[in-house]
Amino acid sequence: MSADVETVVHVTPDAAWLPRFGRAEVIRRSTPPTPMCVARLLIRRTDQVFCVTRPDTGRLDLPMRVIERDDPSGQLGITALAEQITGDGSGLVFVGAVRNVVDSPSDDYAWPTPLAHFGVWTSESHPTVEGSWVSIGNDSPLRDRHWFPLVL
């Protein structure tokens, strides 16, 4: 078995949302790295993506699910999320992830260290739940999302 080729597409050094000196790397690869902490479902329609309202922030975002510790690759979680959103958990393709690199965790940092991954999978299925189609163009309200470089 050969190692997955990984491409770093964006880096945020000393990321404000991470403990001091924490770094966020947006990576493309074909297989999910571990540990996977959150799975996001990317459903695309030309220059739009399907979003739902996040209960914690009230903002539109890709559908997401926190991954259980006994699912290190996130495969069970993303399949369940896809079934919830589209009725079909098959045909999912891993696109990449935001990787938090935290060497000096703080007490209020809830994710594994030194690495935590927040993955994005695509699906060709259509959503069957309420949501909104949001532009991913230059003026997209999603541009500040950490995963956004993966849709470009």
Tens digits of residue pLDDT in 52-106: 999 889 999 999 999 999 999 999 999 999 999 999 999 999 999 999 999 999 9
pLDDT at 1: 45
Residue range 12-24, pLDDT digits in tens = 999 999 999 999 9
Tell me which fold the domain 7-151 belongs to: Nucleoside Triphosphate Pyrophosphohydrolase (3.90.79)
**C-beta atoms surrounding 93 within 10 Å:** 11
Q: How confident is the model at residue 4 (pLDDT cuts 50, 70, 90)?
A: confident
Query: With pLDDT > 90 as the criterion, what percentage of the chain qualifies?
Result: 95
Query: H helices then E strands: how many in the chain?
Result: 1, 10
For the chain, the domains span 7-151
Give yes or no for residue 2 having a pLDDT over 70: no
The β-bridge partners of 38 are 66, 118
Joined together, the tokens standing for residue 140 give 């997209």
